[in-house]
Structure 1
Amino acid sequence: MTTLQGTMTAPSRRLSAINGVRGFRLIVKPSRNETYGLTIEETYGEDGSALATAVVTLTPQQTGRIIDALFSAMRRSGHQPSVLTFTRKAPIWLAEPDGVRLALILMATQPIAKHERVRALVAGLNAMSTEETYYWYSKCIGVDANRARKALRTLLSDD
């Protein structure tokens, strides 16, 4: 292909839409004494391996504080809570709305030490509509993520 100046340019590639679904998967990180941490990844593609990025990672202590929210997200996605064990090797797939809500819970509670504040955050996020969770999720992973996460914690725990 020749331009007006007479130089050669590479032919442009057209971008095409990919048929895929956004979802989330939980990766179990085994620890000692039969405990585990978690990583939640956002995936795009039918098998989830096309694109995946880690959203948040929790230590075993942080995971123990939100176990009820974790089991609830798994049930809503069609899994029995018993599939979540410290020996699990395969990722656990979550539906998009459940993954968004759980990721928000993990992000909001990660730096918190007080158990009553963690409970307030989880209760506040569970009371939100699906649209609200998508809004806050986009803010909490965006450019000003730290400020958005702090604003969300302030909003939900009245601190």
Structure 2
Amino acid sequence: MSIQHNQEQIDSFALGSSVYGGRPTFALVRDEDGKDVTLTLYELLPTEQANARRRRLERRRQQASKTMPFGEIIDENVDGVDDWTWDNWVAVKVRQLSGSRLRSILQLVDESLRGSEHNHTKITSTGDSAVLLYEGAGIRLSLGFIGIKPLRRVDRMRALSRGISKMSLEECYYWYAKCRSPNCPGGEKALRTLLTGNRT
């Protein structure tokens, strides 16, 4: 892939929230069943755009992420949800983490949420909750959730989390474009290799 094409992808992601009127474009959902806690990260997209992405992935015989109606993931009690109209929007699952993977990334989650305009303390405390995220925080967390999922060694998980925390926002956009583009199937592996030396 050419450098110019990569830059075009980054520029298109960098438009991000402004394209949709500055609205949140990610959601982080916490589920707790008494003993296990999971965090699931979703990207929020208009249905038409989510379907177009799914078709591109299918043409390249790549698996598309699970898509859910917005109202099934985010209810009306979530802070800030009433600030926007969500008709014809869907939640596209990025990744779900639990156990050692979740524990290894909690510092990155906390750092990413700290700058959020909405109340995020419930995500890092107890019970079921959700928070809407603006694009910068969502992009950074996406890299963590995507990169950590297949790792097995805790030291590598922590190294990946620390590496993403140190990235500039521009670097995060660059790697997000590589990891999510149908044209760059090796993006996730390249990110893990860069930050952990793990080639799986």
Task: Pick the TM interval, shorter chain.
Answer: 0.7 to 0.9
Note the residue ranges of structure 2 that are not aligned, 5 or more in a row: 1-18, 47-83
What is aligned with 2:31? 29
What is aligned with 1:14? none
TM-score (norm 1): 0.75
Are 2:107 and 1:106 equivalent residues in the alignment? no
Q: What percentage of aligned pairs have identical amino acids?
A: 30
**In structure 2, how many angstroms separate the alpha carbons of the residues matched to 1:127 and 1:53?**
26
Are 2:66 and 1:52 equivalent residues in the alignment? no
Deviation at 1:62, TM superposition (A): 2.3
**In structure 1, how many angstroms separate the alpha carbons of the residues matched to 2:132 and 2:196?**
29
| 1:64/1:47 CA distance change after superposition, 3 Å | farther
Task: Please tell me the residue identity of whatever aligns with 2:191.
Answer: L
Are 2:154 and 1:115 equivalent residues in the alignment? yes
**In structure 1, how many angstroms separate the alpha carbons of the residues matched to 2:27 and 2:86?**
8
| 1:44/1:22 CA distance change after superposition, 3 Å | farther
- Are the aligned partners of 2:113 and 2:120 in contact in 1 as well (CA < 8 Å)? yes
What is aligned with 1:88? 128
Q: How do residues 2-81 of structure 1 correspond to structure 2 at under 5 angstroms?
A: 19=21, 21=23, 23-33=25-35, 35-44=36-45, 46-47=84-85, 50-78=89-117
Deviation at 1:61, TM superposition (A): 3.8
Name the Cα RMSD after superposition.
2.5
Deviation at 1:100, TM superposition (A): 0.4
- Are the aligned partners of 1:31 and 1:60 in contact in 2 as well (CA < 8 Å)? no
Deviation at 1:132, TM superposition (A): 1.2
Query: CA offsets per residue over residues 25-53 of structure 1, 9 Å max, x none?
Result: 011232341x3112111114735562321
**In structure 2, how many angstroms separate the alpha carbons of the residues matched to 1:80 and 1:118?**
27
Query: Which structure's relative contact order is higher, taking Cα pairs within 8 Å and 6+ residues apart?
Result: 2
- Are the aligned partners of 1:31 and 1:37 in contact in 2 as well (CA < 8 Å)? no
TM-score (norm 2): 0.61
- Are the aligned partners of 1:23 and 1:99 in contact in 2 as well (CA < 8 Å)? yes
Query: CA offsets per residue over residues 70-113 of structure 1, 9 Å max, x none?
Result: 11111121456631244224x21112101100110111111112
Of residues 117-126 and 77-86 in structure 1, the stretch that sits farther from structure 2 once superposed is 77-86
- Are the aligned partners of 1:37 and 1:63 in contact in 2 as well (CA < 8 Å)? yes
Task: Please tell me the residue identity of whatever aligns with 1:83.
Answer: K
Larger radius of gyration: 1
| 1:60/1:78 CA distance change after superposition, 3 Å | farther
What is aligned with 1:151? 190
- Are the aligned partners of 2:108 and 2:162 in contact in 1 as well (CA < 8 Å)? no
More helix by share: 2
Q: How many residue pairs were aligned?
A: 141
**In structure 2, how many angstroms separate the alpha carbons of the residues matched to 1:42 and 1:139?**
16
